[in-house]
Chain A
Amino acid sequence: MTAVTLESRLGTAWKKPPLISNPALRWGLFIGAAVYLVLAVSSIDVNWARVAEGLSRGWAFITSFFNPDFVSRGTDIRDGILESVIITVASTVVGILISIPIGLGAARNIAPLPVYLVCRAIVALSRALNEIIVAILLVAIFGFGPLAGFLTLSFATIGFLAKLLAEDIEEMDKVQAEAIRATGSTWLQWINYGVQPQVMPRLIGLSMYRLDINFRESAVLGLVGAGGIGATLNTAFDRYEFDTAAAILLIIIVTVMALEYLSGVIRAKVQ
């Protein structure tokens, strides 16, 4: 048997199937992406001289991570972090308290249509607006200080928690809720014994996650004057005090890690 007949008997070799099976769509997407990339990259003008000049500063920043300065701006850092923590805690608590009724209202299976539409509109508005933009507007209205930051994060928490809570309620097991209703419970008892136990573990998990997000966000609110560590961080960067900036960033990273670990433990416990 010659090699040619063996080849013809075996057929053609296996080839990896392409990701998008339609060739016209595949090549269209590919060429479109290539054209966009060329246009986009060419429209970014990078001042390479400035970048090269900055590299030594970047290196100084990286090395300052191994030699952070917690002391020389110690009081500023302590006050800023404390204010960030206060804003985080207060806004998370208020945000959760407000998002529970809104979440109940935004769940189609327990709320009448007008309530549902109003609550969904609040959720959509809160989610579409970036925290920083809300903070700018609230600082303009309420003046500088932690109150604007507190209101911003509460508002952002409402959109996040109410949406996820409503989705969780919409997916709940109807049988349990109906069993409570069949006992002749009032509406409040129905929510308390039929709905709440089903969504509580997830709500606690999400609240912990939001606490974590709020702390991270509170670190930047200071940039627009809404209180917290951001103002100190901004000053440190402006003055090229990289060792102080590195100290602040390390505190933020360690706090976020601790919060993530804590939320993992709590979530594992409630689920």
Chain B
Amino acid sequence: MPVSTNANGAKIWQLRNRNQTLARWAAYLAGVAVFMWCWQRISDATTWFFVWDAPRIAADIGGRAWPPRWSYMDKLWGPLWDTLNMATLGTLLALVMAVPVAFLAARNTTPSAVFIRPIALFIIVATRSINSLIWALLLVAVIGPGVFAGLLAIAFRSIGFCAKLLYEAIEEIDHTQVEAITATGASRWQVMAYGIVPQIMPAFAGISVFRWDINIRESTVLGLVGAGGIGLQLQSSLNTLAWPQVTLILIVILAAVVIGEWVSAKVRGAII
């Protein structure tokens, strides 16, 4: 972009030369073309009549959904307790499984960088890239619907997340402390307990609380696929078009998420 020109009209300064500008334009053109193609596919698959009708539908649903049916709250305490348990126990179970994976994946603690580290890294990527709803779908098909399937779904989904952050923390530890413990003649396990664990403890606590907060959010919707918790109530209310109940459930979920985030922020503030 020319900032200003001199008396002859020549540019005094410009950010890029001609070829760079052309290359950028070509990249932008390609980007816009890809986006327009995507948009066209979405547009083709959309029934535009419904979209033009959307404001009326939204107003209609909004009118039915308000006021929320507060008396339904009696039936929500049980599912809410289940949701909390899925998130908390799922996080604990995930941490139990994530710690060994993290130690196997960290470059400075892995027993074998060639054979074991790639397996640990694959476990991390595979569990992380599959959404907890898909885990729940799979586990409901395998072990039947219920809170237990949701708990395991939360746990499996969290392994990769916790292990990834934890192994990065292990790789960043101060090596001199480990060396000092080794120099006292400590065994491999003693080095781990006194040289490495105290250094990663704050990171570990922070990661667990952070993941617990995320898991509260995720466990609220697992019931949609039959894995227990408040999502189950949401699903049945949606299926019967009981919009006042849906509003109440959404308010409860929102409150749970906000409280979870507040607790997690407080605890992390206390640790760090």
Q: Which residues of A contact B (CB under 8 A)?
A: 16, 19, 36-37, 40-41, 43-47, 50-51, 54-55, 57-58, 61, 82-83, 86-87, 89-90, 93, 128-130, 132-133, 136, 140-143, 145-147, 150, 216-217, 219-220, 223-224, 227, 230, 233-234, 237-238, 240, 245, 249, 252-253, 256-257, 260
Contact = CB atoms under 8 A, between A and B. Distances in A.
Interface string B51-92: 100100110010000000000000000000110110011000
The 7 closest A-B pairs by CB, nearest first: A143-B50, A256-B129, A54-B143, A50-B144, A90-B38, A58-B142, A147-B46
B118 to A, nearest CB: 12
A83 B45 contact: yes
A227 B131 contact: no
Contact of B253 (A19, A36, A133): A133
B125 A51 contact: no
Interface stretch (B97-105, B146-154, B166-174): B146-154
B200 interface: no
Interface of B: 31, 34-35, 38-39, 41-43, 45-47, 50-51, 54, 57-58, 61, 81-82, 84-85, 88-89, 125-126, 128-131, 133-134, 137-138, 141-144, 146-148, 151, 194, 201, 217-218, 220-221, 224-225, 234, 238, 250, 253-254, 257-258
A50 B143 contact: yes
B225 A223 contact: yes
Most buried by A among B217, B218, B253: B217
A257 B143 CA distance: 29
30 contacts: A37-B89, A40-B89, A43-B81, A43-B85, A44-B85, A44-B147, A46-B148, A47-B144, A54-B142, A54-B144, A57-B142, A61-B142, A89-B34, A90-B38, A90-B39, A128-B254, A130-B217, A130-B220, A143-B46, A143-B50, A145-B46, A147-B51, A223-B225, A224-B224, A233-B137, A249-B134, A252-B130, A253-B126, A253-B129, A256-B128
Nearest to A183: B3
Contacts of A223: 133, 137, 224-225
A140 B141 CA distance: 27
Contacts of A128: 254, 257-258
A21 B142 CA distance: 45
A265 to B, nearest CB: 16
A22 to B, nearest CB: 12
B61 A140 contact: yes
A89 B125 contact: no
Nearest to A93: B35
A44 B93 CA distance: 14
Contacts of B34: 89
Contact of A220 (B41, B57, B58, B134): B134
Contacts of A45: 146-147
A51 B143 contact: yes
A253 B221 contact: no
A245 B138 contact: yes
Most buried by A among B88, B129, B147, B148: B129
Given A57-B141, A143-B47, A256-B125, 6 more contacts: A43-B81, A50-B144, A83-B45, A93-B35, A129-B254, A130-B217
A44 B146 CA distance: 9
B42 A146 contact: yes
A209 to B, nearest CB: 13
B151 A133 contact: no
A58 B135 CA distance: 12
Contacts of A58: 142-143
A87 B219 CA distance: 25
A253 B129 CA distance: 6
A128 B151 CA distance: 22
Contacts of A16: 194
Contacts of B129: 216, 252-253, 256-257
Contacts of B47: 143, 145
Contacts of A240: 141
B251 to A, nearest CB: 11
Nearest to B85: A40
Contacts of B148: 44, 46, 51
B125 A257 contact: yes
Given A89-B35, A141-B57, A133 B125 contact: no
